[in-house]
A = this chain, B = another copy of it.
Amino acid sequence: MSPTSTQRLLIVDDHPLFRKGVMQLIALLPEFEVVGEASSGEQGIELAYKLAPDIILLDLNMKDMSGVDMLKVVKAAGLEARVVMLTVSDQAEDLVAALRAGADGYLLKETEPEELLVKLREVGAGQVSITERLAQQLARSLRTDSPPREPDEAGLTDQERRILDLIALGMSNKLIARELDIAEGTVKVHVKHLLRKLNLRSRVEAAVWAVEKKKARQP
């Protein structure tokens, strides 16, 4: 039940080398464990049933079937796995199709390894994660299903939002406490809560998140 229990992954891609690369990469993160790999859509579906993974990394372009098709099968089967599409295509149509089919993430294969890890954790936390920032908005408008799990970007209380801003300015809890004239321990409480609500793991992530959100609003 703990929020950081290890996530079980299934990798589906017809490029063995790519699979190995991703596995090696994921091995860096202790919270993830690769429990299976498939080299085709058919095998992928089979393993998805058998292993019931938490997350499926799914190639969009496979020889025997489209990743979107496999995605549809998986989702239609009622499997609870979140599915992250991995692809070389940055075509909007592919993205839209994947999201309509219920993808929880859409990442380009050229993504930086570190970026991929970060995105993976986002998806693991229940977020919908897309490489392109703009596509993110597009995603929300298209997805009619799964309304319950959203990053609750606006669910912060006033005080939490204020503290988040101060974190983004690089202030320590102690300084924030002086600024708001409350106890440092109280600041910690608010930080703890806002991290939970935003599915973030540290004040550093919170700061980055806040900055990127601000930039996204006024470009």
Could you tell me which A residues sit within 8 Å of B by CB distance? 28-29, 113-115, 117-118, 165-172, 175, 178-179, 200-205, 207-208, 211-212, 215, 219
Known: A28-B178, A208-B211, A212-B211. A202 touches B170 (CB 8 A): yes
Which of B169, B172, B203, B207 is close to A118, meaning CB atoms less than 8 Å apart? B169
**Cα of A168 to Cα of B208 in the assembled complex, Å:** 7
Q: List 22 A-B contacts (CB under 8 A).
A: A28-B179, A113-B179, A114-B165, A114-B169, A114-B171, A114-B179, A115-B169, A117-B169, A169-B208, A170-B200, A170-B201, A170-B204, A170-B208, A172-B202, A203-B204, A204-B207, A207-B207, A208-B208, A211-B211, A211-B212, A215-B215, A219-B219
- Distance to closest chain B CB from A117 (angstroms): 8
| Beyond A28-B179, A169-B208, A215-B215, 13 extra complex contacts between A and B, CB < 8 Å | A28-B178, A113-B179, A114-B165, A114-B171, A115-B169, A117-B169, A170-B202, A172-B202, A207-B207, A208-B211, A211-B211, A212-B215, A219-B219
Which of B171, B172, B204 is close to A167, meaning CB atoms less than 8 Å apart? B204
**Cα of A64 to Cα of B171 in the assembled complex, Å:** 38
- Distance to closest chain B CB from A110 (angstroms): 16
**Cα of A166 to Cα of B114 in the assembled complex, Å:** 7
- Distance to closest chain B CB from A147 (angstroms): 26
- Distance to closest chain B CB from A136 (angstroms): 16
Question: In the complex, which residues of chain B have a beta carbon less than 8 angstroms from the beta carbon of A175?
Answer: 28-29
**Cα of A117 to Cα of B172 in the assembled complex, Å:** 13
Question: In the complex, which residues of chain B have a beta carbon less than 8 angstroms from the beta carbon of A205?
Answer: 170
Known: A204-B207, A211-B208, A215-B215. A118 touches B28 (CB 8 A): no
- Distance to closest chain B CB from A170 (angstroms): 4
